[in-house]
Amino acid sequence: MTSAILDNRETARDVGIVVLFGVVLAWLMIRFDGNLFVGGGYLVAVAALALTIFRLDWGLALYLFVVLLCDNFPVPGFPALTSTIGYYNNFTSITYLPPNPVILTPNELHLGLICTVWAVRQALKIGEPVVGLPPKVPYLLLAATLFAGFLVCFARGGDFVVALWEVRALMYFCIVLFLVPQIVRTKKQIRVLVWVIIVAMSIKAFQGALRYAALGFTFGRWPHMYETLTNHEDPVFLTTLVVLWLGLLVLKVKERQKIVLMCALPLFALGFIAGNRRAAIAASMVSILAFFILLPKEGKMTILKRGGVFLVAFALYLAAFWNTQSRLAYVALQIKSTVTKHAGFRGEFDVGSAMYRENENYNLAVTFRTSPAIGIGFGSPFLMPIRLWALFPRLGTYIPHNQIFWVYVKTGALGGFFFWLFFNSFMYRGARISAHTRDPYLRVIAIVGVVAIVNQLVVSYVDMQLTFARNMVYLGILMGLVSTVSVIETESPPAKT
């Protein structure tokens, strides 16, 4: 009898929730003249707020999922909801919204929500106490470098709006890097975030694979607007998942994620190819090398024993397809165009692309010499003694491809030193954490966090990705998890001997 009453109450509750949802949605549709994006957006925002307040770690997981799912830029010829919602655009430029003066982005509001909830919880002494962020001094110096770049912008009369666009992503990085170890404190929470990454990037890989299949597994004729069928950073993210799988495999971690990743490898391969980025291929090779270096001795021996056959097969593949134009030659030709001056998979387009970057680097070098100590500041364009067509109408003379050099041009030699001091310090600390972590799963997470830094910095040397929101949030998440691993290992009792 009691069970029946409880069942009836649960049914009534569920029906009530559905009815309330329908009424609210209907009201929103009427209120905003049938605009599904606006009406649905309000519901999603309220749901995100409720989830974040209820479980802050779940709110962070939702934020990560949305960040990975949404596109920095739309892919020409392939409209998609993931780019239409304009998650990284200012509200003023989102066309489906009513005219408004808000210069923030939905991403910034979402991140601000998480920061606010965390701050309120800290003020009310709810949850875990604040933990230190290693390495503290280099982290603060990096933040000071970004702030100083803004000061130079004002002193030189730079464009504040452009300066904001230049430094936004790095600001997200600094915030997320601090927040993750404050919110994520357990192995279970780490596992949830990793599952979110796997699911989100599987969707993005599937999205790219569908576009690649729609073109008959080609990229059309060159020069062609289909330079890439995904966002530029998607192949970079997929590399970290391959490293994660390799780590779980080599260190013999009993984890379901290993099985799921192995099953998803063909999809990841198609998504990686659909990204069509030479920089991602180069970065993936350096990442695998970094992964090998970070492995313990027994892991290195496993790689050497089982990886020899793969290396021989890969060398034979390069030799066989180095001078062909077959679809199977994609990787070989991309490597060829990266390490030589010859045309690769995209023909003369690759040669022109490489020349553009060389000319751009020359312009950056000339600009750097005008203010080598403190840089020209954010919001100031770099000089163009060699005239180049701008990839972006407004930002093309502010944000170059080589974003490592861009850091030096904008913040000077001093800022460049602090930039490398921070990342080198973190990689050193992350390598030590991974070496002393007892839990094999957490050790793999620490290794992936360090490899992600190498992966991102190599890509950023030839592609404009330090200024992309998705890159910096994702990198901040993975690096933040390294700090979480350190906290877990510090707080866990020593192993019994």
Give 189-206 pLDDT, tens digit per residue: 999 999 999 999 999 999
- Condensed to tens digits (0 to 9), the pLDDT of residues 432-486 reads 999 999 999 999 999 999 999 999 999 999 888 899 999 999 999 999 999 999 9
Dist. CA 88–CA 107, nearest whole Å: 6
Dist. CA 456–CA 449, nearest whole Å: 11
- The dihedrals phi and psi of 73, each to the nearest 5 degrees, come to -140, 145
Contact indicator for 212, 229 with CB cutoff of 8 Å = yes
For residue 280, is pLDDT > 60?
A: yes
Which of 21-30, 66-75, 178-187 has the lowest average pLDDT? 21-30
Question: According to the model, what pLDDT value does residue 16 have?
Answer: 64
Long-range CB contacts for residues 416-422, cutoff 8 Å, separation at least 24? 418/138, 418/141, 418/142, 418/144, 418/145, 419/142, 419/145, 421/138, 421/141, 421/142, 422/135, 422/138, 422/139, 422/141, 422/142
Angle at the Cα of 374 (from 423 to 377), degrees rounded to 5?
90
Dist. CA 240–CA 263, nearest whole Å: 16
**Four-point Cα dihedral 31, 32, 35, 38, nearest 10:** -100
Question: According to the model, what pLDDT value does residue 390 have?
Answer: 59
Q: Write down the residue that tokens 């080598």 correspond to.
A: 372
Residue 356 or residue 383, greater confidence: 383
- The dihedrals phi and psi of 362, each to the nearest 5 degrees, come to -65, -45
- Condensed to tens digits (0 to 9), the pLDDT of residues 104-145 reads 899 999 999 999 999 999 999 887 888 877 789 999 999 999
Dist. CA 83–CA 231, nearest whole Å: 10
Dist. CA 278–CA 301, nearest whole Å: 30
Structure tokens of 10? 């649960």
Contact indicator for 251, 258 with CB cutoff of 8 Å = no
For residue 236, is pLDDT > 70?
A: yes
Structure tokens of 494? 């020593």
**CA 43, 80, 478, 188 torsion-angle sign:** positive
For residue 421, is pLDDT > 50?
A: yes
Question: According to the model, what pLDDT value does residue 222 have?
Answer: 43
* DSSP track, 328-360: GGHHHHHHHHHHSSS-BTTBHHHHHHHHHHHHH
Mean pLDDT of 351-364: 83
Q: Write down the residue that tokens 């934020």 correspond to.
A: 63
- Condensed to tens digits (0 to 9), the pLDDT of residues 306-349 reads 777 888 888 888 888 887 777 777 777 777 777 666 655 555 56
Average pLDDT taken over every residue of the chain: 85
393 pLDDT tier (thresholds 50, 70, 90):
low
Q: What does the buried/exposed string (b/e) look like for 80-98 if buried means 16 or more CB atoms within 10 Å of the residue's CB? A: eebbebbbbbbbeebeebe
